[in-house]
Amino acid sequence: MVGDTALVRDAEGKPLPGTAPVAKQQGRYVGRLIANRLRGKATKPFRYHHIGSLATIGRKSAVADFGRVRLQGRIAWLLWGIIHIYFLIGFRNRLVILLDWLWAYITFQRGARLITGSIK
């Protein structure tokens, strides 16, 4: 298992966060692992390389932490959007997600729907 479904610990034994960079690195690792296994080659254990954290915390606000560079507010929010669109695969996906986000933004749609009550 990889990504959000996996519990992987760092060198100090702390669980890695359920974030996109962790999932991406794990996905790339598993791809390499399968290719190496098919060639009969060994693969070093997975190691997470922390390149930074980005998280939205509202309609116009986010936090970005790249070690020495830390941003917050609208500039971090814009950066969050640009980086997420950039890392999508293919022009079509980028365009569809961008339009989807714009629609959700201008129509005040909720980003995540949580079922918190009992279903009757």
Ligand X SMILES: Cc1cc2nc3c(=O)[nH]c(=O)nc-3n(C[C@H](O)[C@H](O)[C@H](O)COP(=O)(O)OP(=O)(O)OC[C@H]3O[C@@H](n4cnc5c(N)ncnc54)[C@H](O)[C@@H]3O)c2cc1C
Quickly count: other Cβ atoms within 10 Å of residue 59's Cβ.
9
Say which residue the tokens 């669980």 belong to.
15
Out of 8, 20, 71, 85, the residue judged to bind ligand X by CB under 6 A: 20
18 lines the binding site for ligand X (CB under 6 A): yes
61 lines the binding site for ligand X (CB under 6 A): no
- Would you give the binding string for ligand X spanning residues 92-111, x where CB under 6 A is met? -------------------x
CA distance 26 to 7: 11
81 lines the binding site for ligand X (CB under 6 A): no
Is the distance from CB of 64 to CB of 76 less than 8 angstroms? yes
54 lines the binding site for ligand X (CB under 6 A): yes
**Residues binding ligand X (CB under 6 A):** 3-4, 18-21, 23, 54-56, 111-112
